Amino acid sequence: MPNEIKLEISDLCIKAEAYLESKLETDLMNATILAEEAYEKSMNTNYEEGIAKCSLLFGMLKYKTKDFSDANEYFESCLTICNKNHYLDIHTKVLQQLGDLRLEVNDFESALEYYLNCLKISNQEKEIILLRIGFIYKELEQYNIAIEYFEEVVDLSISKEVSYSLSKAYSYLAECYINEGGVKEAGMFIKKAINTAIENSDDFDFGYAYMVYAKYHFLTGELKESIAFFEKSIYKFTSLKMLPNLLETMTEYGIMLYESDQYEAAEQILTEASNLLLKERSLKAELKVYLYLAKIHERNKQYDRALSYFKRFNDIKTVNDETWKNIKVKNIINKYEYLRTDIKVKELTNINENLVVLSKLGREITSTLKQNEIIEKINKSIFQLIKCDSFGVGFINKGNVLDYTIYNNNNESKKLTYNFDNKDNHLANLLQKTEGSIDNDILTISPSTQVLDYSVIGMGKINSVMSSPLIFENEAIGLIDVHSYYENTYAENDLEILKILSAYITIAFNNCNKSQTLIDTNRKLKELTEKDGLTKVYNRYSLNTNASKIIQRAKKYKKPYSVVMIDVDFFKEYNDNYGHLAGDQCLIAVSNVLNKICAKEKSFIYRYGGDEFLVIIMNKEPSEAKEIAERMRKGIVEMDIEHHFSKCADVVTLTIGVVTLVKKMDDYIKIFAIADNALYIAKNSGRNNVNHIIHEE
């Protein structure tokens, strides 16, 4: 073949590759036109090297537009030609491209194989290939191996006086040490990464280094600095229009906010990342974004939205479109806790269905004044609501005896009576547990204390029992429980359903028993709805319902108002070691002290979460608000409740965050978030202290 034809084809390919470096659609079209012209000339002259070059170019074009299936076909075609003809330069490039393609879809095993083959035939751009290999081991959490590769990249780059991969290698090294908890090493390498980016004036390296620096600051507990560097990284990648890296940074930012309990901010960032996924597909980012959004909405009990995100997540796992079929993608999603999502989707679907059934049942049983109709309606629905083989409902009569009826799913029932004067027996324990209880191995309970006979209507051995007391006017007036033949049947979501049902039953039976005082009864039950059953202070529902009104009322006073966020230090450890009954008594004691101080100061107190309380102080100067919070903290210390499992004292203590609103805001959600941040800072300062913020914006 004439050399001028070869040169012409080569020149067309070089120009096409140059256009490929651009992000403009017009340049990609120009690259396609030139590659097609080169391919036509190569085919007409049977010039195999030209065909190989053009196949490589077509693959790169398809890869650029994320058409991975077609890209793979072109690259494989090019590789076949190179294997026969030993076109070293093309062979090296196509192996690297195939490795990059597999890396893009998380097929790490195949990517590693292509990169290693690339190193076998050529040392061209060795440091780039080694960087990719190290990246794979980093993603697989094999940090020691990854570190070895990145250190080799550093040595090669310095010896060859090339800096293209140097800043990235330093950033990756810092990431590895962050994940290994090597604070000193991580700090050293991330500073080198930023200095190298400065020397190279490389905005991309800046963006990535800033993201890693943000992770470093989170590791060292410097949340404010972490947020600042995440924002810098987002700014860099936004200005560069580097959507994949912007997406990665936003995803990691959202996860960091979630891990630091800033759920509202995490939801906002991850939602933005979710919107970005409509423009830029990333398997890794999609899995993380949808998983954490699902967790946030599940935590907020927004089950419809949680389910939607879990389903999106699950769809990605099982995706079967041609793109993923034609390339054998090996998803390694196990390491992100993703194996349980099928179960989670089914679980949340059941919750949604159960809430619909429960709402309907609640309306039905509270609208009748006949006890037999109430039981009949419960019997029709409970087996659909909760996995059980039988259930029981009982009420305590004036003789301190439980009139209890057990029902099975064959419409059989039997009435029983139990005396529970003996406080050590199983029934007495069930009635004391105001939050309800789950026992997934009932057979381990001693026969002498297990007074409820779950097999009285001809059934087999019951293994799992879940119960909820029926509470009225602060007293247990009875209970409802459900029973299963199988061990480990019940979970917390099931208990939530049963607790809601028990509230409906309490209302329904009291409507029957006291229909003449129905209005007064419902008023008291409304109070039960608004107050926490354990501590008797107002609950989160009441706070969300009345917060806006209270804030508006507080703004009318001349002096500022303050929001106080209170956390019982290391309460989980207290529960785990002293038991849940002792934990309940501890919370009651704490709430009593806080409530007494709040009553004196005409402040509002709410149980905000498991071991968290929120107080709104009105018409007090900043110094007064801080003094009130300090009194709360000292009051709990002075109770001298033993807590040898605390990491900050030998007694139960409080950590308190206070925000005083000098310029009075309306948005109570933002106000609570500022108070929560004040609490977070107090926790990071050693706990058992008060952190006070004066907000003037």
Top pLDDT among 356 and 141 is at 141
pLDDT of residue 458: 52
| Residue 577 pLDDT grade (very low, low, confident, very high; cuts 50, 70, 90) | very high
What are residue 279's phi and psi, to 5 degrees? -100, -35
Q: Which of 657, 628, 640 is nearest to 567 (CA)?
A: 657
Integer Cα distance of 407 and 392 in angstroms? 6
Task: Tell me the pLDDT tens digit for each residue of 33-82.
Answer: 999 999 999 999 899 999 999 999 999 998 888 888 889 999 999 999 99
Q: Do strands 475-484 and 401-408 pair parallel, antiparallel, or not at all (unpaired)?
A: unpaired
pLDDT tens per residue, range 631-684: 999 999 999 999 999 999 999 999 999 999 887 777 888 888 899 999 999 999
Per the CB < 8 A criterion, the answer to whether 241 and 23 are in contact is: yes
Class of domain 531-695 as given by CATH: alpha beta
Residue-wise pLDDT for 172-223, tens only, equals 999 999 988 889 999 999 999 999 988 888 888 999 999 999 999 998 999 9
**Alpha carbon distance 281, 234 (integer Å):** 18
Q: Is the pLDDT of residue 424 over 70?
A: no
For residue 64, the model assigns a pLDDT of 85
Burial label for 522, CB within 10 Å (0-12, 13-18, 19+), is middle
**Alpha-carbon gap, residue 356 to 536, rounded angstroms:** 29
In the beta sheet, which residues pair with residue 693?
659
Say which range, 136-150, 301-315, 367-381, has the weakest mean pLDDT. 301-315
pLDDT tier for residue 336 given thresholds of 50, 70 and 90: very low
459: its two tokens = 């059934």
Q: By percentage, how much of the chain surpasses pLDDT 70? A: 86
User: Which pair of structure tokens corresponds to residue 537?
Assistant: 């202070």
| Cα–Cα dist 388/406, whole Å | 12
* pLDDT score recorded for residue 222: 93
pLDDT of residue 453: 55
Question: For 194-198, 318-322, 617-621, 678-682, which range has the lowest pLDDT when averaged over its residues?
Answer: 318-322
Strands across the sheet with 464-472, in order?
413-419, 401-408, 390-396, 475-484, 464-472, 437-439
Q: How confident is the model at residue 326 (pLDDT cuts 50, 70, 90)?
A: very low
pLDDT score for 459: 56
Q: What is the structure's pLDDT at 141?
A: 81
Report CA dihedral (413, 419, 420, 421) to the nearest 10 degrees: 170
Residue 125's SS3 state is coil
Residue 553 binned pLDDT confidence (cut-offs 50, 70, 90): confident
CB 592 within 8 A of CB 525: no
Cα separations (Å) of 648 from 124, 277, 655, 672?
Answer: 57, 44, 10, 25
Q: Which comes out higher in pLDDT, residue 545 or 334?
A: 545
Mean of the pLDDT values across residues 422-435? 63
Q: Which residue has the tokens 């978030």?
A: 673
Give the rounded percent of residues in the chain with a pLDDT score beyond 90: 35
- For residue 369, give both structure tokens: 């004044």
> Going by C-beta distance under 8 Å and a sequence separation of 6 or more, which residues neighbour residue 134?
145, 146, 147, 148, 149, 150, 153, 169, 172
- 572 with 634: CB under 8 angstroms? no
Q: What is the mean pLDDT of residues 475-481?
A: 84
Instruction: Examine the pLDDT at 629 and tell me if it is beyond 50.
Output: yes
Residue 171, pLDDT > 80, answer: yes
State yes or no: pLDDT of 97 exceeds 90.
yes
- Helix/strand/coil (H/E/C) assignment for every residue in 298-353: HHCCCHHHHHHHHHHHHHHHCCCCHHHHHCCCCCCHHHHCHHHHHHHHHHHHHHHH
List the domain boundaries for the chain. Answer: 258-348, 368-527, 531-695
pTM flag (> 0.75):
no
pLDDT reported for residue 371: 77
Which band of pLDDT confidence, cut at 50, 70 and 90, is reported for residue 524? Answer: low
Query: CA-based diameter of the chain, in Å?
Result: 111
Q: How far apart are CA 690 and CA 579, in angstroms?
A: 28
CA-to-CA separations, 513 to 98, 474, 614, in angstroms, rounded: 76, 17, 37
Q: What is the mean pLDDT of residues 432-444?
A: 74
One of 3.40.50.300, 3.30.70.260, 3.30.2350.10, 3.30.450.40 is the CATH number of 368-527, namely 3.30.450.40
Hey, what's the torsion of the CAs at 222, 224, 230, 236, to 10 degrees? -120
d(CA 12, CA 621): 77
pLDDT of residue 323: 36
Mean pLDDT of 87-111: 87
Give exposure, 220-247, as e/b (b: 16+ Cβ within 10 Å).
Answer: eeebeebbebbebbbebbeeeebbebbb
pLDDT tier, 226 (very low <50, low <70, confident <90, very high otherwise): very high
pLDDT at position 333: 34
In whole angstroms, give the CA distance from residue 96 to residue 190: 27
Q: In this structure, are strands 413-419 and 475-484 parallel, antiparallel, or unpaired?
A: unpaired
Task: Report the 10 Å Cβ neighbour count for 446.
Answer: 9
Q: What is the average pLDDT across 391-401?
A: 82
Q: What is the pLDDT of residue 408?
A: 84
What residue spans of 474-621 are helical by DSSP H? 492-513, 518-530, 540-554, 571-578, 580-600
Taking residues 589-598, what's their average pLDDT? Answer: 95
**Which of 665, 694, 697, 657 is closest to 261 using CA atoms?**
657
The pLDDT, as a whole number, for residue 345 is 56
